[in-house]
Structure 1
Amino acid sequence: MIRVVLADDQEMVRMGFAMILDGAEDIDVVAQCADGVEAVEAIRRERPDVALLDIRMPRLNGLEVLRQVADITKVVIVTTFDHDEYVDRALALGASGFLLKDSGPQLLVSGVRAAASGDALISPQLTVRLLERTRARGVDQPVVPGFSDLTERELEVARLVAHGRTNAEIASELFISMGTVKSHLASIQTRLGARNRVEIAARVWESGHA
């Protein structure tokens, strides 16, 4: 069971997210918090597998909470605000995901599961912007090791990841099963030395394969 602490200053949002997550058979919301200080206390008390944090909260914002608890739990930022600097700061502090509140129930559940399993998930509409910024900061296209080892199908999967596609979308687009997508992703991570799908995407953009 994936134990989750949920923090958002809007009660209706908390209730909605809790209903979605508790509806998943493998997720249990163990605490709900209305501000950042409550969130830090709950995370230290409950030691959850994942913490879902809003960014703008009273007393302590979500990014500061993340900074304080990143060594205790996996953190997924869930917010209305898609400002680039929030995304960059959250990932730099070690967030395991960044989701917009309007991403939908399926992505919310997927984000929690991904974080719990050591992966990272970012709302598709943010992924391309993030990786374009990563590429823009580079001077020349570096030679990224591992790409010559990818099969043609693995390169297709990696490119779709780089453009923000979910596993379900990749499976549909390439006419393959979800299990096959996951198998390809595992192989791609090994060949590229990437820890999760965000790093896969970053390497695709850095190498010019996007």
Structure 2
Amino acid sequence: MHVGNNAIHLAIADNDEIVLRGLAAIISQQLPQVRVRWVAHSGHEAIERALDPLNRVGILLLDMSLEDMPGTEACRRIRSRNGMLPILAMTAFSLNQYAATVADAGAQGIVGKDDFNGLCQAITAVAAGGVLPAMTGGMRNVLFESAQYAHKRLRVADGPNLTLLTERVRQVVELYAQANKPAVIALRLKITPGSVKTHLDRAQKRLGLSSRAELVDLWWRCQV
């Protein structure tokens, strides 16, 4: 949890602007220590902001009904690449309907959007590093994991994403991740340095990464 002067820095992702403003107002009123640092109106925006070190917060409140993707998918994408940010899911529908998929996606709990007292209690608990109590989801008893544990589980599960790359591109990424310079890679694979750069750019784009550092980090994580 990122706390300054006992403040909890909160982010909220919901595609409804009125809901966003209402939640921010209610939470700030009931929890004076909470500071809403940023809001997102879509899953893609939430992912981008959550993975940006400059936008670090103590907890993300994530709606399950986003227009551009399911909230569980946004949660999974964030959690697979971030093991520190606590995520609290929220929904206007049945909690049991989402409990299992939310836990699988790496959130630390789920609450009803209209249960304001429960929402505020959950924010405090999850921001402090806790998880919400087990609940029923369909035919199973759902246990929520810590952000760190869920991250370890999902980063391994996401390893096969590298199979989206062609064999040659994977070879280039592997050599680059092992700290070989482009000129050395080009010599070993009998291609031009320009082709090395093209392959790295292609891998980065195909995997939805924003930098070479993320590409290298993904490759090494997939070796676990």
The alignment's TM-score, normalised by the length of structure 1, stands at 0.56
Q: Does structure 1 residue 109 correspond to structure 2 residue 120?
A: yes
Q: CA, structure 1 residues 98+195, in 2 after alignment: closer, same or farther (shift >3 Å)?
A: closer
User: Match of 1:55, as an amino acid?
Assistant: M
Aligned residue for 1:134? Answer: 141
User: Match of 1:119, as an amino acid?
Assistant: G
Partner secondary structure for residue 129 of structure 2:
coil
State the 1:133 CA deviation: 2.9
Q: Does structure 1 residue 19 correspond to structure 2 residue 12?
A: no
Q: Percent identity?
A: 26
CA contact (8 A) 1:53 1:76 kept: yes
State the 1:55 CA deviation: 0.9
Q: CA, structure 1 residues 50+132, in 2 after alignment: closer, same or farther (shift >3 Å)?
A: same
1:17-65 CA distance string (max 9 Å, x none): 1012222222111111111111112212312111011111122321111
Question: Which structure is larger by alpha-carbon Rg, 1 or 2?
Answer: 2
Aligned residue for 2:104? Answer: 92
Partner secondary structure for residue 121 of structure 1:
coil
Map 1:67-82; keep pairs closer than 5 Å.
Answer: 67-70=76-79, 71=82, 72-82=84-94
Aligned pair count reads 133
- Unmatched runs of 5 consecutive residues or more in structure 1: 136-193, 197-210
Tell me the distance in 2 between the aligned counterparts of 1:195 and 1:121: 9
Query: Which of the numbers 7, 14, 17 marks the counterpart of 1:8?
Result: 14
- Unmatched runs of 5 consecutive residues or more in structure 2: 1-6, 147-224
CA contact (8 A) 1:5 1:42 kept: no
Tell me the distance in 1 between the aligned counterparts of 2:50 and 2:102: 17
Cα RMSD over matched residues?
2.6
Q: Does structure 1 residue 55 correspond to structure 2 residue 55?
A: no
